[in-house]
Structure 1
Amino acid sequence: MASVAAKVMSTVSAPYGVLVTAAELAEKIADIKSAESCDCSVFAFLSEVSPKLQHSFIDEMNVSKDAVTAVARKFSDLAGYKLPLAI
């Protein structure tokens, strides 16, 4: 696992005991259904991982930035505050 993915996964997985791989997280952060189901691993990624590391992970995992932005906007609406990727 690459350094960026390892850092992201330790932030997302450890506190919540979520068993998700980097590839699974990459899919989830680009899937609007993650916001609709309030997926805690996606919310942790969007709210607890630094914006710089978020962008690095998105690039490393070849995730659609537009899709992640849509998910972040939905989570921002649900949370009641702006998340860094909800631009």
Structure 2
Amino acid sequence: MKTIIEIQNLKCGGCEKTITDNLSKIAGVSDVVVDHETSTVNLEYVSEDSLRKVIEKLSKLGYPVTGEKNDIGKKATSYVSCMIGKITS
């Protein structure tokens, strides 16, 4: 199944790389495309469990889905994730 997920705190290509790298490692998830201009993640998944893992991973990386609580801890985590993406690109 294909889905588009709207997320928060997505700023740049570093964020995109971190998200793409991490979500691509989740079993049952493929074709991950992240767009910081629209704050969206497009992907294919095989089960609801895979999608749940994607949403949990996004939150842990500091990119909660739109509508989820976005406290200062998540915002700070997203900056760290962003820097890691920039360094590893």
TM-score range normalised by the length of the shorter chain: 0.3 to 0.5
More strand by share: 2
Report which structure shows greater RCO (CA 8 Å, sep ≥6): 2
Q: TM-score scaled to structure 1, two decimals?
A: 0.37
Q: TM-score scaled to structure 2, two decimals?
A: 0.37
More helix by share: 1
